[in-house]
Amino acid sequence: MPGERKFKLRRLDETRWEIPMVGGMRVPGLIFSDSSLLPDIEKDNSCEQVYNVAHMPGIVSNSIALPDIHWGYGFPIGGVAAFDLDQGVVSPGGVGYDINCGVRLATTGLAREDVIPRIKDLVDSLYSAIPSGLGSTGKIRLNRKALSEVVLSGAGWAIKQGMGDGSDLEHIEDHGRVTGAESKSISDRAFERGKDQLGTLGSGNHFVEIGFIDEIFESEVAESWGLFPGQVTLMIHSGSRGFGYQVCDEFLARMIKNMAKEKIELPDRQLACTRINSPQGKEYLSAMAGAANFAFANRQILMNLAKEVWERSMGLSPRELRLHLLYDVSHNIAKIEDHIVNGKQVKLCVHRKGATRALPPFHPLLPQRYLKSGQPVLIPGDMGRCSFILVGAEGAMSQTFGSACHGAGRVLSRNEALKRTKGRFIEQELQDHNIYARSAGRKTMREEFPEAYKDVSSVVEVVHKAGLARKVACIKPMGVIKG
C-alpha cells in the first residue's frame, strides 16, 4: 500500500491527471486515466514511481504513465520518460528486465467456424511444440559466435535460417533489428543463459493465443490491413528471456555503484542510471539493443513454429492457412528518437517500459504499407476477455512521445491472485466460456486468471479518447498457451 504522499493528483480533463511539480521534481507527472481506473492505479506505489522518475536528470516535458500503469522496478510498468542527450540519463529500470518484451499479431485466411471444432487439438499441438515455463529451453542451441549474429541481426537472422519470409521485416518495429548492438558489451553469463532459449515462450504472462476478430471499429483501416469479422488470428507475447534479464541485472548493479561518482541523487536507488553519452551509457544501450534483437528473433522463430504446427495439426497448406504477420511491437525499450519539443526538433532517449510505440500516419519511420493509416498498435488483454488492435494517432506525438499503453495492466499481485483463486480450477472456468487453455503449471493459470488484470476495454477506451491511438478491432480468445 502507498505511504503518505508528497503530492496530490490534479485532474486536467476526462483522461489526464497531473502530479504538479513539488520538491526536487524537474517536470510534472502526467497520468492517463479515467475516474473508473484511478482507484486501482492509486492502490499501489506506481504514482509515487511517476513522481520519482520526474526527479531524474535531463527528463523532458513530463514523467508519463499510461492507463495500464502498475508498480514495477524503479519505473512504473506503463511508464514513458524521455531524456535530453546532453544532460539526460539512461536507466535499465526504465526499460525493464525483459528487454523488448513485445507482441506480434498474425492474421490467417481462416474463419472462426473453421477452427472452433479443432481448437483443442490445435492448442495441445502448439503446447507440445513450443517450450514454455520458467527456464524452458528449445531445440535451437547456439555457440557464442552464432548467438552474436543473432544479437547483431535480430529477426533477420531467423529468416536467413528459413524461419519466415523476408517480407516479415517490413512488418516489425525497426525492421526487426535495433541498430547499435555490440556483442562485446554483453557478458559471457548472458550468452550462456541465452544459448538454448531461442524459440521458447518463457513464463508468467507470456503467451501464444488463437483468437478471432469479434468487432471492427474502423472499417477502412481494417480493410486496408486485410482484417474481417470472424477472422482467426495468432498473437504471441514473449521477450528476450534469460539473455535480456542478465543484461539488465548486470548493468543495474554497475550503475548503482557508479551513481555517487556521477553525483546523481534520486529518491529511489532502483532508478539507477548513468549519463546517456557516458561510456557506461553507450555500453548499456549497445547491450540493450543486442537483447532487443534476441527478442525479435525469438518471436520470429515462435511464429514460424506455430505456423508449422498449425499446418500439420489441421492438415492445411500454407496457401490455405495464409498466416501473415500484421505487426510486431516492442514494449520494453529505450530508443534515440526525433521529437518536437517547444517547437523544435530534438533527439531524445525515450524509455518505454510497458508501453507501445504508436506512430501516426505519414511518420517517417513507418513502412510503406502503414504510411497512410498509421502504425498497428497491439494491446493484449487477459486470457478470458479480449485484446485490441489500434492504430497510432497524432495525439501520441504531442502528448506521450509517440506512445500508447501495452496491455491491460495487473491489478492484483501474483500472491494476491493465488489467494483469490484458492480451490478454483481456472482452466475449467475458461473452458466454460469456450476458451481452451494450457500452461506449464496450475500456479501460472491462477496467477494469470482474468480478474488479476484491469479490463483492457476500459484501458483502451482512455487511450482512444485521449487521442493516442484509435480502436480498429477487438479480438476474442479461443485457445491460449500460458508460460
Q: What is the pLDDT of residue 3?
A: 55
Q: What is the pLDDT of residue 284?
A: 98
Distance of alpha carbon 352 from alpha carbon 335, whole angstroms: 8
Which residues have CB under 8 Å from 15's CB, separation 6+?
A: 32, 33, 34, 462, 465, 466
Identify whether the C-beta of residue 449 lies closer than 8 Å to the C-beta of residue 187: no
Distance of alpha carbon 352 from alpha carbon 63, whole angstroms: 11
Q: Which of 70, 171, 351, 406 is catalytic?
A: 406
440 or 462, greater pLDDT = 462
Mean pLDDT of the 39-47 span: 92
Q: 3-state DSSP call for residue 202? A: coil
Q: Which of 27-36, 257-266, 376-385, 453-462 has the lowest mean pLDDT?
A: 257-266
Average pLDDT taken over every residue of the chain: 96
338-391 pLDDT tens trace? 999 999 999 999 999 999 999 999 999 999 999 999 999 999 999 999 999 999
Residue 334: name the closest of 351, 315, 311, 355 by CA.
Answer: 351
Q: What share of the chain is helix, strand, coil (3-state, %, to 5)?
A: 35, 25, 40
Q: Which of 42-46, 133-137, 460-464 has the highest mean pLDDT?
A: 460-464
Q: What is the pLDDT of residue 461?
A: 98
Domain borders along the chain are: 10-482
Q: What is the pLDDT of residue 309?
A: 96
Q: How confident is the model at residue 260 (pLDDT cuts 50, 70, 90)?
A: confident
- Topology of domain 10-482, CATH: tRNA-splicing ligase RtcB (3.90.1860)
Distance of alpha carbon 9 from alpha carbon 415, whole angstroms: 29
What DSSP designation does 392 have?
A: E
* Grid coordinates belonging to 262: 556521477
Q: What is the pLDDT of residue 1?
A: 45
Mean pLDDT of the 325-335 span: 97
211-224 pLDDT tens trace? 999 999 999 999 99
Q: How does strand 469-482 pair with strand 436-439? A: parallel
Is pLDDT above 90 for 333?
Answer: yes
Q: Cα dihedral sign for 157, 163, 167, 171?
A: negative
Q: How does strand 77-84 pair with strand 344-353? A: antiparallel
pLDDT cut 70: percent of the chain above it: 99
Q: How far from 194 is each of 35, 52, 142, 353, CA to CA, in Å?
A: 43, 33, 9, 22
Residue 312 one-letter amino acid: R
The full DSSP string for 31-53 is EE--TTTHHHHTTSSHHHHHHHH
First to last CA, the chain: 28
pLDDT cut 90: percent of the chain above it: 93
Angle between helices 279-314 and 241-258 (to 10 degrees): 160
- pTM, two decimals, is 0.96
Identify whether the C-beta of residue 156 lies closer than 8 Å to the C-beta of residue 238: no
Distance of alpha carbon 212 from alpha carbon 196, whole angstroms: 32
Q: How does strand 29-32 pair with strand 63-70? A: parallel
Mean pLDDT of the 12-41 span: 96
Q: 3-state DSSP call for residue 114? A: helix
Is pLDDT above 90 for 6?
Answer: no
Distance of alpha carbon 440 from alpha carbon 350, whole angstroms: 35
Q: 3-state DSSP call for residue 318? A: helix
55-72 pLDDT tens trace? 999 999 999 999 999 999
Distance of alpha carbon 383 from alpha carbon 388, whole angstroms: 13
Residue 357: name the closest of 92, 152, 178, 202 by CA.
Answer: 178
Q: What is the pLDDT of residue 277?
A: 95
| Residue 464 a catalytic site member | no
Distance, CA of 102 to chain centre: 4
In terms of Cβ atoms closer than 10 Å to its own Cβ (0-12, 13-18, 19+), residue 52 is buried
Distance of alpha carbon 421 from alpha carbon 435, whole angstroms: 18
For cell 511539480, name the residue: 21
Q: How confident is the model at residue 483 (pLDDT cuts 50, 70, 90)?
A: confident
Q: For the chain, how many helices (H) and strands (E)? A: 16, 19
Residue 441 one-letter amino acid: G
Q: What angle do CA 91, 97, 101 make, to 5 degrees?
A: 110
Give the count of beta carbons closer than 10 Å to the beta carbon of residue 364.
Answer: 7
93-112 pLDDT tens trace? 999 999 999 999 999 999 99
Q: How confident is the model at residue 447 (pLDDT cuts 50, 70, 90)?
A: very high
Give the count of beta carbons closer than 10 Å to the beta carbon of residue 408.
Answer: 28
Q: What is the pLDDT of residue 444?
A: 92
* Grid coordinates belonging to 125: 499441438
